[in-house]
Amino acid sequence: MFRISTNMPNDDMQYRLRRQEESLSNIQAKIAGQTKFNNLRDDPLAVSHAVRYESYLSRLNRFEKNVLYAKEHLNQTDAYLQQTSDVLQRIRELAVMGANGIYTKEDMQAMGVEVNELLKELTAIANAIGPDSTKVFAGDKAFTEPFRLIEGKIDGGQESMALAVEYRGAGASRRAEVGDGVYINLDISGGEAFWAEKMVITSSFDAANYEVTAPGAFFVDGVEIQVTLGDNLSSIAAKINDSSAPVQASIDPEKHSLIIEGTNPHLIRMEDAQGSTVLQDLGVVVPNAVQGAPNWNVSAQVSGGSLFDMVIDLRDAFYRGDGNFIGSRGVGGIDLALNNVQTRLVDIGSRAERAESTWKRINADIPNVTAAIGREASLDFAAAAVDLGMMDFAHKATLQAASKILPQTLLNFLK
């Protein structure tokens, strides 16, 4: 038998009241937090699902911002390239007119003046600044003016004019993450957009007996190519061809020297990795004190001009009154530049369309993931309000019952 003391009913009542208050506190916390659970132990499976959904939703929101930036940036780049195409079309019209042979030398010089002004406009477009204060066509060197004018006097010119235009930007490697491990390339460098001919670099160094004396690497258009001890010219050329760089390597059968040719019109960029001298040993490049400046070995033959080279040659031909040059190499050079710009426009347009499709997909996924979070973690307010009312009613009923069950003590009479 158990002895029942006068304190036992009171202790039991206090325990039950505390349990009810805890239940009331839990349901009130859930209503305040608008969630089914306050602690992981409330529903471990639903909590794990909700955490994964919320993490995915957070990534989707980040991807949405990235793809919106990509869309705006690509549309802006597309607009500048379209302006470039329009200017080149006008230059081509002038070239076709000048090739007719019916204009006087003064007329030809007047056309040359217009071509020179259009050249300035092309340079302004190439050095355009985006809304985020970065240079659109500078590649990864976003705050460096990509094209530098070299000015001087030309025959027949009345003022200082552009003799050459050098690219001082870098390659374009920026990407926007628009999905888990999914990226869209953002930029196009000036060395790609404003080029005309396929570049060819021919070394004059006889490398028939050349072998790599120490492991190293070099870069071709930003692609790293590793070399190992004992590699010869043939193996180096094979490694270049097996890489993703847009170039083709071959060997001159007479000079036994390395030849690098671009697979499309663009400025080829080559440099040795730190501590390696493979390209220098092969007579392709020299150490470059000014980052971004041309670094070809002076003995190497480099061909393949930019869009600006084509326009400058055409302008000079107008000032000379050389209709034969204008009708052949002049028009041909502008056609090459136009073809490259059109190709780059297609590339940028394709990226913009992909960004648009990705944006639509993400915007369809966000509501679905939000609904899944609601299904796993959101509180049913109607049911919670009913539970809260029932608990509150039971708590009040318990207090009333306790006041009648618990015996009176001396404290009730001390007034």
**Residues facing residue 205 across a β-bridge:** none
Q: Return the number of other C-beta atoms located less than 10 Å from residue 132's C-beta.
A: 10
Greatest CA separation for the chain: 131
Mean pLDDT of 292-299: 77
Residues 6+ apart with CB under 8 A from 257: 202, 203, 204, 205, 206, 207, 251, 282, 283
**Residues facing residue 303 across a β-bridge:** 200
pLDDT of residue 405: 67
Does residue 1 register a pLDDT over 80?
no
Q: Return the number of other C-beta atoms located less than 10 Å from residue 37's C-beta.
A: 19
Q: Which residue has the higher pLDDT, 294 or 146?
A: 146
Q: Tokens 């996924």 — which residue?
A: 365
> Over the Cα atoms of the chain, what is R_g?
37
The per-residue DSSP string of 88-157 comes to HHHHHHHHHHHTTS-S-HHHHHHHHHHHHHHHHHHHHHHT-B-TTS-BTTSTT-TTS-SEEEEEE--TT-
Q: Tokens 């639903």 — which residue?
A: 46
Predicted confidence band of residue 333 (pLDDT cuts 50, 70, 90) = very high
pLDDT digits (tens, 9 = 90+) for 151-194: 887 776 677 788 899 998 888 888 999 999 999 999 999 999 99
Q: Please give the Cα distance from 283 to 296 (Å, whole number).
A: 8
Mean pLDDT of 234-253: 94
Angle made by CA atoms 216, 221, 226, in degrees to the nearest 5 = 20
Q: Which domains does the chain have, with CATH numbers?
A: 53-196+305-366 (1.20.1330.10), 200-303 (3.30.70)
Tell me the residue type at 66. Answer: N
pLDDT digits (tens, 9 = 90+) for 274-288: 889 999 999 999 886
Lowest average pLDDT, out of 26-30, 54-58, 129-133, 138-142, goes to 26-30
Q: Which residue has the higher pLDDT, 219 or 132?
A: 219
pLDDT of residue 216: 92
Contact between 123 and 145 under an 8 Å Cβ cutoff? The reply is no
Q: Please give the Cα distance from 146 to 169 (Å, whole number).
A: 4
Predicted confidence band of residue 95 (pLDDT cuts 50, 70, 90) = very high
Q: Please give the Cα distance from 402 to 12 (Å, whole number).
A: 10
Burial (CB count <10 Å: 0-12, 13-18, 19+), residue 148: middle
pLDDT of residue 72: 94
Predicted confidence band of residue 147 (pLDDT cuts 50, 70, 90) = very high
pLDDT of residue 289: 53
pLDDT of residue 262: 94
pLDDT of residue 391: 72
Mean pLDDT of 324-343: 94
Percentage of the residues of the chain whose pLDDT score is greater than 70: 81
Q: Which residue has the higher pLDDT, 231 or 15?
A: 231
**Residues facing residue 227 across a β-bridge:** 216
pLDDT of residue 176: 93
Predicted confidence band of residue 99 (pLDDT cuts 50, 70, 90) = confident
Does residue 293 register a pLDDT over 70?
no
Question: What are the start-end ranges of the H helices in 159-288?
Answer: 190-193, 233-242, 278-281
Mean pLDDT of 381-392: 67
pLDDT digits (tens, 9 = 90+) for 15-58: 777 776 666 667 666 666 666 666 656 667 777 777 788 888 99
Mean pLDDT of 83-100: 94
Mean pLDDT of 141-160: 82
Question: Cα 398 to the chain's mean position, in Å?
Answer: 66
pLDDT of residue 41: 63
pLDDT of residue 354: 95
